Copies of this chain bind each other. A is one copy, B any other.
């Protein structure tokens, strides 16, 4: 918990910061799945309703605590809503756009997750529940969980190769040149023969 003085008014900047401090501590200590909004609220000395008011659901709280500029629901939701046809290409284009635009924040998150075991667990559970879970729900073919795993494996590896390991030429290639190379892989995992 933060040692700086807390704000009195619900909605004050200080309450908001206290909630984020408490959330970071909880996620690091307990991971994503076992962190509950009401425990974060208790740690921050506020009502759970205030946490919901500021951050919506748990994924919104996690995203704010990790200083990410968006939630997976915001990014993946609309893509999935358009159906499974061409989903591989749409996901890839959107993901590369988001990473190109928020590279520093996202690379920082990966490095933080790598160096703090607690953060690693939280990020892992968050990816599993909020990203793989959503993609899996969109698959109409057999073995949806396995297909979502395979999609995640190619996406994680592509992001790691381009933004973390920065291997060339992949790191310098414009996103639009990468999309046609990798989208067929994602689409086969989503609805092709396995």
Copies in the complex: 2
User: With a CB–CB cut-off of 8 A, which chain B residues contact A13?
Assistant: none
Given contacts A152-B161, A194-B181, whether A146 and B169 have CB atoms under 8 Å apart is yes
Contact of A170 with B185 in the complex, beta carbons under 8 Å? no
Of A19-27, A49-57, A62-70, A124-132, the segment with at least 4 beta carbons within 8 Å of chain B is A124-132
Q: Is the interface of A mostly helix, strand, loop or mixed?
A: helix
Nearest CB of chain B from residue A113's CB, rounded to whole Å = 8
* A182 contacts chain B at the CB level, 8 A cutoff: yes
* A3 contacts chain B at the CB level, 8 A cutoff: no
User: With a CB–CB cut-off of 8 A, which chain B residues contact A168?
Assistant: 145, 149
Given contacts A155-B157, A157-B158, A184-B188, whether A149 and B167 have CB atoms under 8 Å apart is yes
A182 to B161, CA, bound (A): 18
User: With a CB–CB cut-off of 8 A, which chain B residues contact A153?
Assistant: 154, 157-158, 160-162, 170, 182
Could you list 29 A-B pairs, sorted by A, with CB under 8 Å?
A111-B114, A114-B114, A115-B115, A124-B166, A127-B167, A128-B165, A128-B167, A145-B169, A146-B169, A146-B170, A146-B173, A149-B161, A149-B167, A149-B169, A149-B170, A150-B182, A152-B161, A152-B165, A153-B154, A153-B157, A153-B160, A153-B162, A153-B182, A154-B185, A156-B157, A156-B160, A157-B157, A180-B194, A184-B188
